[in-house]
Amino acid sequence: MSEKSPAKRQMSDTFRAAVFIILSGGFQDAYTYCCRGEVFANAQTGNIVLMSSALFSGQWHTVLKYLIPVSAFLIGIAAAELVHIHFKRFEKIHWRQIILICEILLLFIVGFLPHSVDPLANALVSFVCALQVQTFHKVRGHAYASTMCIGNMRSGTEALCAYFHTRDREILQKALTYFGVILVFAIGAGVGSFVTRCFGTCSILMCCIMLFAGFIIMCL
């Protein structure tokens, strides 16, 4: 029993659980860009570039448009850490599952927000993305990002180069894991773009289903 418990607590590290979380990450970025005023939910680097460009052009309204999701992302990181600190020893439910419940509830609210409050919708989605990236950052024991690709691209390519040098099958598995994460994220973004164009603001509810699937897998 003592060996089974730690494994259960780390179900979020399995690729099976990660798939739904990564799909949701790609979907959320496509959703805010396609449906909520071309703002990135995950890619805060892009938001900062656009915000800085607007700042130096004197476009103050546009500065605020991108400052809101960047600020919400920072607050989300802090919130995830607070949940971790206060609930890491909670036995009835894992703290990562608490985060997933919060994500599902917030995205459910976003699905019913009209375009007149797009800044609020973008803030909530960016907050959720921050919760996600801070909480789910390991798959098969490897550090990764579920809501962005650049770190995964670097790690995957680095591992692939190491494999060609050493021919170590474990290193190849590591590289394939990272490229698998990138592929799943891209699929999530593609599906998100298509579904959002078809169904509009309520399409984010599909992320609630994905995250709930991840929640169920973590309970098994």
Instruction: Report yes or no on 9 lying in a domain.
Output: no
Structural domain containing residue 97: 22-219
Q: Are 15 and 177 contacting, i.e. CB atoms less than 8 angstroms apart?
A: yes
Would 163 be classed as within a structural domain? yes
| Integer angstrom CA distances of residue 94 from 46, 86, 202 | 33, 11, 29
H-only helix segments in the chain: 4-9, 15-35, 44-56, 60-87, 95-110, 118-135, 150-166, 169-199, 205-219
81-96 pLDDT per residue, tens? 999 998 888 877 888 8
Q: Is the pLDDT of residue 144 over 70?
A: yes
Residue 162 predicted with pLDDT over 50 = yes
Give me the pLDDT at residue 12, please. Answer: 58
Average pLDDT along the chain:
89
CATH number of the CATH domain containing 86:
1.20.1250
Rg (CA), the chain: 18
How many residues are recorded in the chain?
A: 220
The total domain count for the chain is 1
The pTM (predicted TM-score) of the whole model is: 0.89
- Given this model, what pLDDT does residue 90 score? 81
Which of these, 33, 70, 71, 22, lies nearest to 180 by C-alpha position? 22
How much is the average pLDDT of 141-146?
82
Residue 1's pLDDT is 36
Instruction: Evaluate if residue 200 carries a pLDDT over 50.
Output: yes
